[in-house]
Amino acid sequence: MNLSLPLRLLLWPLSMLYGAAARLTAWLYAHGIYTVKHLNAPVVSVGNLTVGGTGKTPMVLWLAERCMAEGKRVAVLTRGYRGAGGTSDEVEILKSKLGERVLYGVGPDRYREGRRIESEHPIDVFLLDDGFQHLQLARAVDIVLIDSTRPLSKEFLLPAGSMREPMSAISRASVVLYTRVQQAPLVVPAMQKFPSLPIFSASTKLMGFKRILTEESSPIDHLPQPVFAFCGIGNPEAFFDDLARWNVEVAGKAAFRDHHLYSAREVRELESLAQQAQAKALLTTEKDIQNMGDARFSLPLYCCEIALDIPDAAQLWKLINQSLPAAGAPS
């Protein structure tokens, strides 16, 4: 959150109240005063401590692929933030990658969605998207993602900053995964702040560029350049930094709020800006494509296809898998 320092100081008392409420809620669940609900199948939660993107959707994809590779029947539970009709931009990305191999429960009551799925299908594991603060649902594994480019020590609690919970909440995690480490050389000292937790790192790997409205996937070096880059994600600067790291020539750029739904007027404005910048194409994220509606550009429109690159993937999966029953075994 890019609030000015005076405004942050003005909101600081509200942040203190927010932090106290977050600590109290966690304490009430930890001591059984608030009821924690259990699904029959184990739950693996993927979440974070901040508002905005840290790479949760790529992590859910990573987990789903590995679970299915071992024959596990997978369902994803998600709130579907700013979505409608039982879907959202994250859900549509998951469906585009996983198809019908995975079931989906979308809504604020993740337990009810999980029970509905279990009543209709056999499930071996639930993947809980953005679940770290969803304390009413029990989980076998709690994975917390931290964006290496946004040090938590410099963040304020909501509403003065982007922190959903105090740093102390990290003690509930099973695993901490630092993302975008290729953009943060000082991440190792930061990782040492949690010596009692298993710590892993990940970077964003470019798989290629996909031409929208066609099935074409371009090799990394075949993108028409320069491009006009735009996005509506939690950390837009990380996307623009990725483009620089991938040697994409950017003639201009624009950023919108997370989960932004693009209007026809904004599409025209983006194209006008791209033409003024003499860009040969527009480039955005896979998430933004889901929020374009029926928008059409006269310039070619591409999105970046990405994946998580986890150096210690085998060790991380072993740690997670130890908490999950074998496929088809009673849970």
Rounded to an integer, what is the distance from CA 3 to the centroid of its chain? 22
Choice among 189-203, 218-232, 252-266, 288-302 with the minimum mean pLDDT: 189-203
**Domain match, 32 and 76 both:** yes
Ramachandran sector of residue 84 (left: φ over 0; alpha: ψ -120 to 50; beta: rest) = beta
| Of 7, 3, 22, 2, residue with least CA distance to 164 | 22
Tens of pLDDT, residues 50-101: 987 789 999 999 999 999 999 999 999 999 876 666 788 889 999 999 988 9
**Domain match, 190 and 224 both:** no
Report d(CA 95, CA 129) in Å as an integer.
14
Residues listed for the chain: 331
User: For the chain, what is the domain count?
Assistant: 2
Q: Is residue 330 part of a domain?
A: no
Q: Is residue 87 part of a domain?
A: yes
Reported pTM: 0.91
**Domain match, 268 and 160 both:** no
**Placement of tokens 């995975």 in the chain:** 102
- Domain range for 296 is 206-306
Q: Is residue 327 part of a domain?
A: no
Q: Is residue 83 part of a domain?
A: yes
pLDDT number for residue 182: 74
pLDDT number for residue 1: 61
Mean pLDDT of 210-223: 76
**Domain match, 248 and 195 both:** no
Tens of pLDDT, residues 168-188: 999 999 999 999 887 555 555
**Domain match, 43 and 127 both:** yes
H helices present in the chain, as ranges? 5-30, 56-69, 89-98, 110-120, 187-191, 236-245, 264-276, 286-289, 313-321
Mean pLDDT of 198-216: 87
Choice among 4-13, 256-265, 281-290 with the minimum mean pLDDT: 4-13
CATH of the domain at 171: 3.40.50
**Domain match, 98 and 242 both:** no
